[in-house]
Structure 1
């Protein structure tokens, strides 16, 4: 009987602890990725939904839409329902129609970054580390959450520089949008686990400046994104990339340079969608 009473008392104490108000500093918790994967047993990755202590409205209703516009080379302008604008691989060579709130960069070539961005840009995210350490971004801007996964990059001498490139992931309106940047090698299981779910992926299709079409197609197939947006086409026609995929993928050439997408409108079958200008 005494043992039973002690068990009940302990349970009540534990319950009161978990129901107690959080201390003030806990309310300042940063956003946590809704697209991140937990690598419970690689290569089998289980996807999970994470809920931060402080809600960030990246998990909008299914009707909320994100507009993605191809600007040039590997620069896209991503516009969220809350009005946040993000330009990828921003160099200034290809100017978005308005000054973005956030720009991401990679340093493979000067067409992917600039060290003198417009001072009106509030957030400049380098894909490489500025302090000798890998870049590590976890940034919340309005209704967008932006993070990165570093990959190695091939230097001009041919050697691989660890963590010189970043895959940037933008989460908005419940969508997970990834930009592969100047990806120079196939990803491994740890990379895929860190990336997590990608509903939309922007992929270089230059045929060799980053990776060959066959290697890049394996990355795209493994990511299993619903919407695949080719970019960074130099040299071979985009059809060389398209030929790497079987009938599990649809293909379509857009009539314009933009696509508007929501959770509800994502293709049921993976779609390689070539925006005008690519």
Structure 2
């Protein structure tokens, strides 16, 4: 069950000095149409400073991304306890528990905010974490269990509103969002979408979800072989531009979103001092 979209819940935190900036308002809920832009993205290593009013997104592994801001905030999505040999501590770690590769029972104790995407006896996960420069919120979804069962609210789609952008991570999504959940997501400029074709949703369902979201940038994740990725890309090629990269990071800003929705294929690389 989805709680009211704008309900505030427990994790409203004091920002660190690096994060104590005003957040540029996003159009996540306000707009239904794409924001036109120009050719975008710049090549950037994960350890470089982030440009003002921009966000760097680095594909680390599986469904783990690191999102970094100009003010120094960092988020690790579907955090499983390992980002690489570099001693890098994010400000926020989001987790989902459909599989152990998407969460850890022992997150690094230095991480200030660990957000579990699944519910408990008190109800669904309900996060509204305001860090000044970034707002992190979630939309719960269900997951499958063995023998045909369902765990209600076992996954969360996490949304990160920062630099005027709305960035969504679908997590270990097991079903197409319903109308209420789509409305709660709002307009996603960037979406990380699992394209494994079976462990989450099938390829046709994910193609339908991505088509409906119509995000300016789609980042495929959770692909274990080229086969499912190529299936996904082939089905979307008429509707989205395809941009294949050899690197793991991109930097994007609201002013530079592509005029045509684009699927950007990044290569997963764990964080190290050699990037």
Matched, 1:82 2:78: no
Q: Does the residue aligned with 2:205 lie in a helix, a strand or coil?
A: helix
Measured against aligned partners, the alpha-carbon deviations of 1:114-134 in whole angstroms (never above 9, x if no partner) come to: 111111100000001234300
Q: Which residue of 51, 57, 61 maps to 1:68? A: 57
Q: Are 2:247 and 1:271 aligned?
A: no
**For structure 1, which runs of at least 5 residues remain unmatched after alignment?**
1-30, 39-44, 48-61
Distance in 2 separating the partners of 1:112 and 1:91: 5
Determine the structure 2 residue equivalent to 1:92: 81
Q: For the structure 1 residues 252 and 190, does the alpha-carbon distance in structure 2 shift closer, same or farther, using more than 3 Å as the test? A: same
- The structure 2 residue matched to 1:182, chosen from 161, 164, 172, is 172
Structure 2 gap ranges (5+): 1-22, 34-50, 270-275
Partner of 2:3: none
For residue 136 of structure 2, the aligned residue among 138, 143, 146 is: 146
**TM-score, scaled relative to structure 2:** 0.78
Change (3 A) 1:132 1:155: farther
Please report how far the alpha carbon of residue 182 of structure 1 lies from its aligned counterpart in structure 2 after TM superposition.
0.3
Structure with higher Rg: it is 1
Q: Secondary structure at the match of 1:165?
A: strand
Select the residue among 165, 181, 184 that pairs with 1:191.
181
8 Å contact from structure 2 (residues 52, 70) kept in 1: no
Map of 2:192 onto structure 1:
202
- CA distance in structure 2 between the aligned counterparts of 1:192 and 1:34, rounded to whole angstroms: 17
CA RMSD of aligned residues (A): 2.3
Change in 2 beyond 3 A, CA 1:94/1:77: same
Name the CA distance, whole Å, in 1 between partners of 2:191 and 2:170: 7
The CA distance in 1 between the partners of 2:101 and 2:259, in whole Å, is: 34
| RCO comparison, higher one (Cα < 8 Å, 6+) | 2
- Equivalent pairs counted in the alignment come to 229
Counterpart contact for 1:63–1:263, Cα < 8 Å: no
1:258 aligned to which of 243, 249, 258? 249
TM-score computed with the length of structure 1 as normaliser: 0.77
Q: Is this contact kept in 2: 1:63–1:264, CA < 8 A? A: no
1:206-228 superposed Cα distances (whole Å, 9 cap, x missing partner):
01110111100000000010000
Counterpart among 109, 115, 126 of residue 119 in structure 1 = 109
Residue 96 of structure 1: how far off its partner (Å): 8.0
